[in-house]
Structure 1
Amino acid sequence: MSSDKPVAIVTGGGTGIGAACSKVLARDGFRVGINYIDIVEDSAKAVLAQIEDGFLLKADLTDADQIESMLAEIKEKAGRVDVLLNAAGISINKDINSMTLEDFDLQRAIVRGSWYLTKRILRLFMLRKNSGRIINISSVVGHSGNSGQIPYTMEKAALDAFTKSLCKELAGRNILVNSVAPGFIDTPMTQNLPEEVKKRILDSIPLGRLGDPEEIADVVSFLACRASYISGTVIHVNGGLYGG
C-alpha cells in the first residue's frame, strides 16, 4: 500500500537505539518500517504498538535472501522509501586471542548486510526522483578504539568510511548520507556491563553520565527531517568523551 506519507526504514528498530529512533521518526511524521530478528520479536511488536503508523519487517541482515524478501515486503507495504537508518548491530566482546574466525565473521556480516540493503534499497530512492536520506549508526569506539572489541570497532569504523564514500558516489542525486556516532548509551548492551566497567566509563565522560537512546534519536531525526546541507559527515553524540 503506497501513500504520500514519507517512509523510514529502521534496521534493528525493535530494541535500544533503533527502537528510540523508530518512535521519534514516527512522532515526526514518518511511516516507519521496523526491521527485527526472531529473538527480539516481542520488543519489536511493543515498539509498533507505541507508534501511530508503522509495520514490521522480519529479516536477518546477515542473510542476503532475507534482505531480498524484506525489500519485496517494503514495496508491497509502503511502495517508497525516503529514509534508511542502518541501526542494526551486535557486539562480540573478546580479546584478540579469544576471538574466533566464526565470531569475527558474524560481526563482519552485519556491516556486509547494511551495505547490501543500502545498495538494493537505492532503487526505491530513485523512484522518489533521486531524493532521500541514508543514516548509519556507528560508534565512538570506531574512532577511539576499545580493548576487547576489535571486530566491533572495525565494523563501526567501516560504516563511517561507507558513509563518506557513498556520499561521493551519490553526488548530484540529492541523496544525503551521514553517520551518527553514539558514545556510551543507556541500553541493554551497557546495562549488562560489570559495575567496575560502568564506573570506569562514567569517569571518562565529561558530562558524567550515559546518554539516553532518545538523545541519539533526536540527532537522527534532525538529519532525516531538517538537515539539507549536511552529507558525508559523522556527528558525534557522546557527552564529550571523544572530540572526533
Structure 2
Amino acid sequence: MLPSVRFADLEGASVLITGGGSGIGAALTEGFCRQGSKVAFIDIADAESRALCDRLEAGTRNRPLYINADLRNIDALRAAVQKAAAAHGPVTVLVNDAARDDRHTLEDMTPEAWDANQAINIRPHAFTAQAVVDGMKAAGKGSIVNFTSTSFMLNIGDMPAYTAAKAAVIGLTKGLAGRYGQFGIRVNAIAPGWVITERQRKLWVKGDQLEKHIERQAIPREMAADDMVGPCLFLASDAASMLTAQTLIVDGGIL
C-alpha cells in the first residue's frame, strides 16, 4: 500500500526516475504522481511503461512522461534528461532506480560481462546525476536518491559484479553529497532488502528461501515495491532538508 502522507513541496516538482516502468520503479513513479509531481521516467520496457502511464492517468489524472531510452547509451541518457527538463522544467528530484540483479559466478565472469553489469548498475547513476546537476544548481536546490541494495552487506556471493556496483553506489552518493551540498543539493541512498517484485518471484524465489528470509526480518512480512515509496518521498522532500550523504536501509530489520 502506498503511503498516505503528502509532501507539499513535491507538488509540481520536476521528478525524473530511471527504470520507472516496472518493479520498484513503477511504484515510485506512481508515488510521485500521487504527490502531484511532474514525473518523467526512463525505461526500455515499452509495453509495461505505456500501460503504467495509462493506468496512472486514469487513476490520478496525472500522466507521467515515459521516455524510452537505453541507460547504457550515455548520449541517449543525456537526451532523455533534456526531454524531461523541456517538458517539466529543470529536474530537481532525481531517483536512480534502474538495475539488474542477474546471478553470476566469479569463475564464469568475463571482462565483457563485468563491464555490461557496471553499465547498468552504477554508470547511469553517475551520468544521470551529471546531466541534472546544472539545473539543480540553477534552482538552488535538488535531491538525488540513489538505489543501492543490502545484498553486498549480507555477503551474498552469487552476483559479484552486481554487489560491487551496489557498494559503489554508496561511494558515489557520499562523494556527490560532499561536492554539491554547497549548492543546496542533497544526495542520499536507499538500500532495499528483498523486495518481492514480479521479476523476483519469477526468477529468484525458490523453495522455502523467502519464508526463511522473512523469519530473519524484525517485521515478519513480505516486502513489496510500495514499501520503498515512503522512504524515497521523504528523502526527496524538504522534510529531509538537512539529511545528505546517508544510506537508508529498508529491509524489515534484518540489518
**TM-score when normalising by structure 1:** 0.91
Partner of 2:3: none
| 217, 227, 233: which one aligns with 2:246 | 233
How far does residue 178 in structure 1 lie from its aligned partner after superposition? 0.5
Q: Is residue 82 of structure 1 aligned with residue 92 of structure 2?
A: yes
CA contact (8 A) 1:179 1:234 kept: yes
Q: Corresponding residue for 1:25? A: 32
Mapping 1:84-123, distance limit 5 Å: 84-110=94-120, 111-123=122-134
Structure 1 residue aligned with 2:14: 7
Residue in 2 aligned with 1:171? 181
Flag structure 2 segments of 5+ consecutive residues without an equivalent: 1-10, 57-61
Structure 1 ranges of 4+ moved more than 4 A: none
Native 8 Å contact 2:137 2:184 kept in 1: no
Does the residue aligned with 1:115 lie in a helix, a strand or coil?
Answer: helix
- Residues 134, 175 of structure 1: 8 Å contact kept: yes
| TM-score normalized by the length of structure 2 | 0.87
CA change 1:92–1:101 in 2 (3 A) is: farther
Tell me which residue corresponds to 2:224: 212
Between the aligned partners of 1:50 and 1:124, the Cα distance in structure 2 is 30
SS at match of 1:181: strand
CA drift of 1:172 comes to 1.5
Instruction: Please provide the CA RMSD for this pair.
Output: 1.6
Structure 1 residues 101 and 200, CA, compared in 2 at 3 Å: closer, same or farther?
A: farther
SS at match of 1:201: helix
| Residues 132-151 of structure 1 aligned to structure 2 (within 5 Å) | 132-151=142-161
Kindly state the Cα deviation for residue 68 of structure 1 after the two structures are TM-superposed. 2.2
Moved more, 133-142 or 143-152: 143-152
Contact 2:173 2:187 (C-alpha < 8 Å) held by counterparts: yes
Give the superposition deviation at 1:102: 2.3
Structure 1 Cα separation of the partners of residues 29 and 91 of structure 2:
14
- Report the identity percentage: 25
